[in-house]
Structure 1
Amino acid sequence: MNALGDDRVCAKHPRVPRCPEHPYAGVVAQPRHPVQGAFDELGTPLAATTFVVVDLETTGPRPGEAGITEIGAVRVRDGRVLDEFGTLVNPRTPVPPFVTLLTGISQAMVDSAPPVETALPAFLEFAGFGPDTVLVAHNAPFDVGFLKAACAAHGTRWPSPAVLDTLRLARRLVARGEVANHKLGTLAGFFGVADRPTHRALDDARATAGVLRGLIGRLRSRGVDTWEELRAFRSAPTPAQRGRRHLADSIPDAPGVYVFEDASGASLYVGKSVNLRTRVRSYFTASETRPRIREMVGLAERVTPIVCDTAVEAEVRELRLIAERKPPYNRRSRNPERAPWLKLTAETFPRLAVVREVRDDGACYLGPFPGTRAAESARDALHHAFPLRRCSHRITPPRRGAACALAGMGRCGAPCEGAQSPAEYTVHAAAAARAMTGDVSSVVEAVSAHVATLARELRYEEAAVHRDRLSAFLGAAARTQRLRALGAVPHLVAARPVGDDWELCVVRHGRLAASGRMRPGSDPRAFLRALVATAETVPAGTGSLPRADAAETECLLRWLESPGTRLLEVERDWVCPVGGAERYRHLIHRHATPWAQNQPEILTD
């Protein structure tokens, strides 16, 4: 690792960190013309690198929730198997029937197996991770995630080895025209591996080792002979990338936003960076491997930089530009106005509906959600806790015989046929509104009790469905309550130290109204007065919702909650409900779970 804390180096001059002649952003491409280096620059030959190929069988897909049932590993060097390791593991959790059906591993088989706190150190001792040892797996984030989670749970130090993912490497080396997909079984057949995967750990590790042998053969045909070359391996830049390198010549070395535009001036792609020049240059090198972005670079005629004083301003500007211009090569944040919300309607007999628009109509809203399925899952959790009607037709005046099957199941009071008065129904609707905006404990207790009952009856698949519904509701409730809390504040000024400078932000109703960087020697009172005086005037949002897209308000919340941030001015209280969803954060299963936030660098990506 160099003095800047970066373990990457210039690919043309591997002994020179951040080579001034060939600066990189991410990882620089290998030189187009092979150069014979000195013997001490050749690196570790692949033939001398020890690869520990590992495969795990588990009770489910999520580390920390599911357990390991089997570990299999093969130590390989120069294409030869040096040793093998295999053991069943007692996960101390039930083995679901579908896992037994898939792997053949039953509850009886693991009951007498060693627990993970015994099996894990044995595997680490077998692996003997050193400077010339690489951990290999097919879809490495899955296996490495479980190993890291197990180490963290049992106080075992994770050795943090270099990791090679054969799935990602195969996607780069084996074209789709050669194979139907890049599954382990398909690749094993393609390379003629004798050991085929069987969903047993050691068999799958042997198959992965055979696939690795075939992939290394392809790497050598491309002139990749050392581990260092494999780490830096990328597809060569396209002619369009090389031909447009001049577009980065006038980009400043400053933080901000950059916009790729075509010949007509239409925006193709919007991004942000702490160093615009370095980031834009990376698009014209081999470090940029995304096919759609390479295509975009071929269409670009200019890059427009927008310099920003602060990083938070750059992030907010990026979000606003993407939402406004909808550049075709941006995948995220393009259509925030289309995000689904869960609405408790404002009518005599309110119901829960998934909508795409928030109106100032007196209704109660929860969201926004990442997709319709998540919104429907949250609605199902609320329906489980409160007997609200699920029909969408008019139910006044009441009609005899109009009740549906839910009334017979006790899940609805049948207001449609007059069995429940508006006052009686309002009790349930008000309780649902309180759960959506404040105290969520009633939903947590109702769904958790049902999950526990299903688990006692060994109905684990149904329990998992209800658990995920509760998670979807709590995630949306926590998000809504955080957004509402900041959106209700008319004026807030905060400052955060950045080196010798201070970043200041003015936030009004959840929207960034002004931002600036105060240098050493400035008069802080005068700087603050000028910043507040020139800040945007922001009216209140719908109800207490922010006057900005949810992504912008969440960006500001992250900045405000970062270490060292100080509040300078605030109007009204900035608070979340005491019984709100934040207290149940441990029940929220996000796409980026805590164990995934510290994933190792997966090489060849």
Structure 2
Amino acid sequence: MQGTLDTLLSADGSVDPAALSLQDTTFVVLDLETTGGAPDGGGITEIGAVKVRAGEELGVLGTLVNPGERIPPFITVLTGITEAMLAPAPPIEAVLPSLLEFLRGAVLVAHNAPYDVGFLKAACARHGHPWPQVRVLDTAALARRALTRDEVPNRKLGTLAQFFHAAVQPTHRALDDARATVDVLHGLIERLGSFKVHTLGDAIEFAKAVTPTQRRKRHLADGLPHAPGVYVFRAADERPLYVGTSVDIATRVRSYFTASEKRARMSEMIGAAARVEAVECAHSLEAEVRELRLIAAHAPPYNRRSKYPERVVWLKLTAEAFPRLSVVRQLADDGAAYLGPFSSRRTAELAAAGVYDAVPLRQCTHKLSTRTITPACALAELGRCPAPCEHKITPEEYGARAAIPFRTATYGDPEPLVEALMARIDVLSERRRYEEAAVIRSRLVALLRATVRMQRLGALTSIAELVAARRNDSYGWEIIVVRHGRLAAAATSPPKLHPRPTLDMARATAETVLPGPGPVPSASAEETERILAWLERPDTRLVETSGDWVSPARGAARFTRLLNRAEAGGSRRDSSVRSSVTARTDDGRSLRL
């Protein structure tokens, strides 16, 4: 038998039929004669099926079938089957149960299999039989891949039967054609050995439209573990080309060499790949986190997402007498207030515009002195800035009106900003200035999304250590140790054993994580959000925590419904706000949107 035991076992521990060698596979070679036409408009007139394994015939099923309709004359000429021959034959509904039982546990083989399978599926649907999920192998498709035009001029059954010296030549009668297909199948299986196709799964994929590069590189999937983890496609110089994750590394990597993989970038990547490296993980969360870290560290050219976490930006409210907003890439412990992270500068500037719409923060970029007066800009003349540059407002008044609402929104209640933006949307909508109202709405979405995200991240990253666990499918325990929002350790406790020793070992060997400034001091925002999603699952249990995992009582999370409504409204093709609706915050208050 080809392959090791690990190769033959599927993820649930059962034998994977696709991993069986062709020699050990049971085939039912089938042929149908029909009245012609499409499956939904024609009937079956004869069935021939031969069950074989390892070259030995195990059983035969052959019968005429009364289609309940007239047979076209050209079908009678082609097959020799007349209406008089079919009159005493059983109808298809009487034959189907025996045929489906004959197919049980075998691989269905036919020449031009889609045609025969189409008629059988239509018959099952008409007579209330569920179609068995059998694997199908098409000898015509195999021949197109395995034989050249120099060997055979076409892939008709008669041509192939003659080429392989079949004992029975096809006669357009079902059983004769099925026996001829058996010999063609055996001849093709011998030929497939030269293509290194030895298993059923290999043969099914070989028959599909895989590229020569996929076929040539499919050996890269050999020997990989059936376990959760990360896989890395590497070039000949060991450069990482692509990083992915899966609950079953071997199965996922094998799919890159099948016809189901149609992405042009992946085809290009496979052509450049020289080997595949597997990193087994304790469970799927560890695999997801390792994938993010590897992508961030190496920026593989064929990964499109999560490649440049260092490109995130923050809105910073400076710590000075008259604070101002600026877009920065780094956090610092400098007394400033930060909001983010934002995935792009454009999104950060959109949120900043929302802040400017809500509170009278100055928009100039230079540092103002409390002693020296600086000439005011046009915004002051328009009444959109309190002109701290001309000392028309004291630092205390400026802080209360402009700076404090923003600072409070970053760690507590963003309601002053939200209320101000909602009021502007209402005014613009009442004046039928819908496009301007839609712009304000997009600014509200950017600002509110950032505050909700930041407070969720900050609630977890403020905890020095958190230990959690959840049951897996095999009744063991998946365990994580999180320190300041970073996955410091991951482990899986075997079933039927107490998880405490595994948990203690995970804590003892966990990564040391030091605190830092901001809501994501020790990991990327995306990593912490993956951990949050895992922790928030209903089957996750918190085991130990060094501090309280809490969110502000009147924090940004209570505006989640409002945010969802605003995002849904902005995703419509008509971006106007003509259809103003009343949205409710999570604490029951009503706001118009």
TM-score (norm 1): 0.60
- Aligned counterpart, 1:357: 330
User: What is the deviation of 1:543?
Assistant: 4.3
Gap change, CA 1:318 and 1:45, over 3 Å in 2: farther
> Of 301, 311, 327, which residue of structure 2 is paired with 1:328?
301
Question: Greater shift after overlay, 318-327 or 238-247?
Answer: 238-247
Give the corresponding residue for 2:415: 441
Q: State the partner residue of 1:395.
A: 368
Cα 1:590–1:332 change in 2 (3 A) is farther
Residue in structure 1 matching 2:439, options 465, 477, 484: 465
Letter in structure 1 aligned against 2:18: P
Q: Distance in 1 between matches of 2:466 and 2:489?
A: 11
- 2: CA distance between counterparts of 1:256 and 1:43? 50
Amino acid in structure 2 at the alignment position of 1:437: Y
Query: Is the contact between residue 398 and residue 417 of structure 1 (CA under 8 Å) also seen in structure 2?
Result: no
Letter in 2 for 1:463: A
Cα drift, residue 593 of structure 1: 6.3
**Residue 480 of structure 2 corresponds to residue 508 of structure 1:** no
Which digits, 9 at most, give the CA deviation of each residue in 1:367-406, with x for residues without a partner? 1112222111111111111111100023226665611222
Q: Which moved more, 1:468-477 or 1:585-594?
A: 585-594
Does the CA-based 8 Å contact 1:487-1:510 persist in structure 2?
A: yes
- Counterpart residue identity of residue 543, structure 2: L
- State the match for 2:590 in structure 1: none
Identify which of 278, 283, 286 aligns with 1:310: 283
Larger Rg: 2
2:426 is aligned, of 442, 447, 452, to: 452
Q: Secondary structure at the match of 1:309?
A: coil
Q: Which residue of 2 aligns with 1:565?
A: 540
Cα distance in 2 for partners of 1:461, 1:36 equals 65
For residue 258 of structure 2, give the secondary structure of its aligned residue in structure 1.
Answer: coil
Structure 1 residue 413, shift from structure 2 partner: 1.2
Cα contact 1:488–1:546 (8 A) shared by 2: no
Alpha carbons 1:260, 1:270 under 8 Å: kept: yes
2:556 to 570, 577, 581: 581
Matched, 1:542 2:540: no
Contact 1:546–1:553 (8 Å) recurs in 2? no
Mapped to 1, the partners of 2:332 and 2:533 lie a distance apart of 27
Instruction: Mark the runs of 5 or more structure 2 residues left unpaired by the alignment.
Output: 1-14, 22-28, 43-120, 123-204, 572-593
2:297 corresponds to 1:297:
no
Q: Which amino acid aligns with 2:442?
A: D
Match of 2:506 in 1: 531
8 A Cα contact 1:338 1:357, kept in partner:
no
| Structure 1 position 38, deviation (Å) | 4.9
- 2-structure distance, mates of 1:467, 1:594: 9
Q: What residue number does 2:470 align with?
A: 496
How do residues 143-162 of structure 1 correspond to structure 2 at under 5 angstroms?
none
Code of the aligned partner of 2:512: T
Asked if residue 254 in structure 1 is aligned to residue 227 in structure 2, the reply is yes
Q: Are 1:372 and 2:370 an aligned pair? A: no
SS at structure 1 position matched to 2:341:
coil
CA contact (8 A) 1:340 1:372 kept: yes
Query: d(CA) in 1 for partners of 2:256 and 2:565?
Result: 31
Shift of 1:43: 13
Structure 2 Cα separation of the partners of residues 330 and 455 of structure 1: 43
8 Å contact from structure 1 (residues 471, 587) kept in 2: no
For each residue in 1:1-54, what CA deviation from the matched residue of structure 2 results, as whole angstroms up to 9, or x when unmatched? xxxxxxxxxxxxxxxx9852599xxxxxxxxxxx997579x9986999xxxxxx
User: For residues 552-583 of structure 1, what are the alpha-carbon distances to aligned partners after superposition, in whole Å with 9 as ceiling and x for unaligned?
Assistant: 00000000001111111011111111222211
Of 430-439 and 522-531, more deviation after overlay is shown by: 522-531
Whole-Å Cα distance in 2 between the matches of residues 595 and 452 of structure 1? 16
Conserved in 2, the CA contact under 8 Å of 1:487 and 1:541? Answer: no
Q: Report the AA paired with residue 416 of structure 2.
A: S
> 1: distance between equivalents of 2:345 and 2:497?
50
Cα distance change of structure 1 residues 490 and 44 upon mapping to structure 2, 3 Å threshold: farther
CA distance in 1, matches of 2:279, 2:561: 40
Change (3 A) 1:306 1:420: same
2:458 counterpart (465, 478, 484): 484
1:57-206 aligned within 5 A: none
Q: Deviation at 1:436?
A: 2.1
CA distance in 2, matches of 1:518, 1:43: 59
- Contact persistence 2:283–2:491 (CA under 8 A): yes
> After superposition, what is the alpha-carbon deviation per residue over 1:150-175, rounded to whole angstroms, capped at 9, x for unaligned?
xxxxxxxxxxxxxxxxxxxxxxxxxx
Would the alpha carbon gap of residues 457 and 282 (structure 1) be closer, same or farther in structure 2, given more than 3 Å must change? same
How many angstroms apart in 1 are the aligned matches of 2:242 and 2:541?
35
Distance 2:323 2:212 in 1: 60
1:264 pairs with one of 237, 255, 258: 237
- Divergent runs of 4+, >3 A: 35-40, 42-48, 397-401, 543-546, 589-596
Q: 1:20 matched to which residue of 2?
A: 18
Q: How far is 1:409 from its partner?
A: 2.9
Aligned sequence identity (%) = 51
1:520/1:18 CA distance change after superposition, 3 Å:
closer
CA 1:555–1:448 in structure 2 vs 1: closer, same or farther (change >3 Å)? same
AA aligned opposite 2:456: R
Residue aligning to 2:384: 411
Moved more, 388-397 or 455-464: 388-397
CA contact (8 A) 2:342 2:348 kept: yes
Conserved 8 A contact 1:436-1:477: yes
Is the Cα–Cα contact under 8 Å of residues 491 and 503 in structure 2 kept in the other structure?
Answer: no
Counterpart in the other structure of 1:70: none
Distance 1:541 1:251, change over 3 A: same
Q: 1:593/1:315 Cα in 2 relative to 1: closer, same or farther (>3 Å)?
A: farther
> 2:455 touches 2:519 (CA, 8 Å); kept in 1?
no
Report the Cα offset of residue 247 of structure 1.
0.0
Equivalent position of 1:278 in the other structure: 251
Q: Which residue of 2 aligns with 1:553?
A: 528
State how far apart, in whole Å, the 1-side matches of 2:311 and 2:319 are.
22
